[in-house]
Structure 1
Amino acid sequence: MENEAATWCEVSGAHLAHNVRLFRRLLQPGTGLAAVVKANAYGHGVAQVVPVLEEVGVEMYAVHSLAEARQVQSCGATRPILIMGYVTPGQIAQMTEPTMHVLLSSRQVLQSLAARSAELGVSWPVHIKVDTGTHRQGVPPEEAADLARQAKEAGLSVVGVATHFANIEDTTDHSYAFEQLRRFRQALQRVERVTGQLPYVHAACSAAALLFRETDFSMVRLGISLYGHWPSRETYLSWLLAHGRDGIALKPALSWRTRIGQIKTVGAREPIGYGLSYRTTRTTQLAVLPVGYAEGYPRALSNRASVLVRGRRAPVLGRVCMNITMVDVTDIPEAEEGDIATLIGSDGEERVSAEELAELSGTINYEILARLSPALPRLLTHWPEQGQASI
């Protein structure tokens, strides 16, 4: 069926599968993958991503909220789903699926889960969250074993223990991360004296999974790199410093495209858009795109970014509007109304990356992807495929 959308995202199933297989080869044998699919699978679309991951195989899904867990489940997920964010007592009272694991960070949640477990006659699976220095969710390392003991005594099933690194992506000095790792190992030993050996021990995010085999444990939580992106320039540089070469081919899975809705001629020295923030220096062919910050194209890209039209760059002129962006196609004279303009992705030899837009916007690639509007149509492309990942 022909795509009739004015603006849409394409999600490459082949690239998602490639990235999963790449990490299967990179990680220590027996280390499982928890696919982090919160924030609408980092903007890629849960409905598109989950079927691919089901086929290629992961051990667990990780989300932020109960609503996200239910969405993942509705897309055919058969693996356990870990809810990593806060779950209110009212939400817990509605939970019916013990295949939804809960990251246990507070005693209030423990009490609510224990009550619900007793009501349903099940032993709810929980993972103890240890705060080793991020100072977000979780309990201090010295309290982790006591929380595990209380959970067991309350009838919950302690199946995992986890932590999260505070400073592993944005630096090439990983001393703080290794101090966190030391604290986590100590907490893990204390917890497992209470629980016995646990099946789910996880600390690694994408950056740790790329750089440090010491952080593998029994499972890693793969987020941004599942979708084909390096977590940061510093992570990439750390890889190069350690290995002396690139040697690892992450493949971005998402492309974002729109169509030229109108082309018009604007004279020289004419203002473009709100605030008159740009004035033409020549007679200009202006292409009007039906996409703006409501769809997730940052207003900070005004007069800074480019889109791709017929394999060439077309600069953004004027302010990005709520649902409209204007670009200069004067040097692309063959451009026509209805042509595809690429906001993220490749067209011929040219490419606009999420990282490029993030740098121009003063933010990170995570935010560019996660803020793509859920209302945008997502098309799963290039799936199934039979290729093998390489490192």
Structure 2
Amino acid sequence: MSVVGRRRSCQHDPSRPVAQWPPHITESWMETTTTDRKRKALLVLRIVVSLAMLGVLFLQVDDVAFSEVIPPWSAGNGLWLLGAATLTFVGIGVSAARWHQVLAALGVHARWRHLFSHYLAGQFVSNVLPTTIGGDVLRVSRLSRETGLGPSTFASVVLERLSGWIVLPLITFSGLALNPGLRGLGRASTVATAIALVTLVGLMGVVIFVADKRLLGRFTSSEGWQRFVGAVHLGVDGMRRRPTDAMAVLAVGIGYQLVLVLAALMAAQALHIPQVGLTALLVFMPAVLIIQVLPIGISGLGLREGAFVLFLKPLGVPAEKAIALGLLLYLLNLVTSLPGAGAFALGNRRRAGAPGGQVPR
């Protein structure tokens, strides 16, 4: 049989019944179909869980008129909402700047506008599209094609996320220091402080684990998926050796979280929640951000609103107002993610290995 004939015999005709496909193709098709079904089932389950949590929250709220939860439209409310939306969108740009700072510390050169485009596309995927593929995966994929440095790009996204988490407990402790009265709010103060302490200790453990040469350090010369793990170790080790770069990354991370706090403050003003001040959000907003990323539900729906009810109730905020604040922040994230549709659709057309990438120092 000729080479062409052998190749044709290895291929399958999609019009043929599945039972007549070659065994290896049938098994691959069945595995892919099963995986897709599991992903769709998991997505549906997460949506149901989110709706159930929101339903439980609303059942705890007394009969309240819609007008009491959402104040009448006015020019003042519109300006507060516009300010909150603007800051939420600015936060995406600051996130791209944080990513840019991490890449610079790793010795990988990328243009901020490209990173901003990738971040926008990632936000669109995470907040708008009903998919189990996260925005971080999209960012790694697109920047890897642009720079040709897959492991370093993967490490940059991991370290960028890690730096964002590290500053959250610091902001909570700063808020408690600025307003000591927030320390005596019972369960709300206890839970926020506990979340900050557990997060900080946990992240310190992760950094020590990743930086240990005997653990992840042994993967720096490996091939395959292990080289991605080794790249994260090299990144952390590089940050440790260059504290100035590390402090610059943390500074941008703090700026990003403060932008989110100010956006939440404006959203609270738009909803006429005067009890929520700047220091209260400094203390409780980081805890809300940590809680809402738990892999329960979809996009933090239900978790975020429940957390706001817990933290804002001691301040005199009605449960329905706290739920409304959580839902408004979700809608703001959703709306500001929509411009990422264009970046997602256009994709990354730069050739792999294009000039601009360098091996980490």
Q: If the length of structure 2 is used for normalisation, what is the TM-score? A: 0.28
Please identify which structure carries the higher strand content: 1
Please state which structure has a larger fraction of its residues in helix: 2
- TM-score, scaled relative to structure 1: 0.27
